[in-house]
Chain A
């Protein structure tokens, strides 16, 4: 029999079992907490535990970071897409807001003047250096006729010179060929404003002994029957008194910004609206 042949081994195992039982009984009875042996084992285990903890923590952290990065990439892509969409929306809303502001000004002007108007959009600008005209998207089909005054906040900007069925050309105040009967609002002195290109306009035929100051407001005088009276045109930017001339040389800065015209109103009739 194996156990008899290995008698020593069996005794040794029995000894170990008894030792374990004694250890257990002693600890149950006295609850010593293991004594020095336990402390030694714990001391030896601590560095291994630390190394393992650090290793697993680094692996776990790396994995978490990887997961986070994968998520971040996807999230970043989504956020960029969203930003693009929002930016597009923002541009759209901004455009809408600016349009609303412009239309509000137009509406105010329309209400203040109490005439019948036809609104139109500017579709093109004349690129020639001397010619200062714009194209609008309304024509004879909409009731437009040559000579009708065109306004945009805050006042007069020109008149129609060509009217097609669906498109019309507006001669701006600043065009060299433009002449508008005007007057100084403060002193009621009347003259004619001629376009001067990038310099704006020149108010002519104001005699040198009259009272003209820089900043004086100029409005349409209504003479000639083309433009109604009282439309804002511009203000005096510079007054010159030539020695060998009978009249002032008055430079006029128009109120309207011709480079930013987008919507305009055409004065369709001088008749007052029936309310």
Chain B
């Protein structure tokens, strides 16, 4: 229960922090989407229910704070979570280069969806941003993903004494959302 209570506040903190850091480092030109890496991480580590709620709330908070069309990133984050969740059955999250590559592709997927939405639904021409914004942003996500995964791994060891492992992969019972 505590997880669900804290989740909105932690999501807000994460999104606020990432936008502030992006403002300092890139002067607002790029966003370091730690939230996206967190969603990918959730896909690798959490169960379906807990991870999808996490992605939904994080996406919703991102929509609210980033000022995009409400529901866009909510939908995208849930989709990316599902992709990561499925990929986690075929990929080893311990291999950092795979993590970086996968996060890069997830970021590209996210941006393709954003681009398609803006082009098809809102009729905005944002193709020019592909090389100057989307690709660098995907690269940044790819670069930041391995340290993020490593830090989270260390945090899990610190809190649980061993790396947190999803029960579905062990064949045990599902991990409860309750902490």
Contact = CB atoms under 8 A, between A and B. Distances in A.
Do chains A and B stick together as partners? yes
Interface of A: 2, 6, 8-10, 12-13, 16-17, 19-28, 32-34, 37-38, 41-42, 44-45, 48-49, 52-53, 56, 60
A22 B65 CA distance: 20
Nearest to A52: B20
A6 B175 CA distance: 12
A271 to B, nearest CB: 88
A12 B55 CA distance: 13
B52 A49 contact: no
Nearest to B23: A56
A6 B69 contact: no
A19 B78 CA distance: 11
28 contacts: A2-B89, A9-B52, A9-B174, A12-B52, A13-B82, A16-B52, A16-B78, A19-B56, A20-B75, A21-B75, A23-B75, A24-B70, A24-B72, A28-B69, A33-B70, A34-B70, A37-B60, A38-B64, A41-B12, A41-B61, A41-B65, A42-B64, A44-B8, A48-B12, A48-B13, A49-B16, A52-B17, A60-B24
Contacts of B59: 20
A6 B49 CA distance: 10
Contact of B12 (A25, A27, A45): A45
Interface in B33-60: 47-49, 52-53, 56, 59-60
A60 B63 CA distance: 28
Nearest to A5: B168
Given A34-B64, A37-B64, A41-B65, A24 B75 contact: yes
A49 B13 CA distance: 8
Residue of A20, A23, A37, A60 with most chain B CB atoms under a 10 A cut-off? A20
A20 B48 CA distance: 16
Contacts of B6: none
A242 to B, nearest CB: 97
A13 B74 CA distance: 12
Interface of B: 8-9, 12-13, 15-17, 20, 24, 47-49, 52-53, 56, 59-61, 63-65, 69-72, 74-75, 78-79, 82, 89, 121-122, 168, 174
Contacts of A27: 69-71
Given A12-B49, A41-B12, A41-B65, A23 B174 contact: no
Contacts of A26: 71
A41 B12 CA distance: 7
Contacts of A16: 52-53, 56, 78
A23 B65 contact: no
A3 to B, nearest CB: 9
Given A23-B70, A38-B64, A52-B17, 16 more contacts: A8-B49, A12-B52, A16-B56, A19-B56, A20-B78, A21-B71, A24-B69, A24-B72, A32-B70, A41-B8, A45-B12, A45-B61, A48-B13, A49-B16, A56-B20, A60-B24
A53 B82 contact: no
B97 to A, nearest CB: 26
Nearest to B21: A56
Contacts of B9: 44
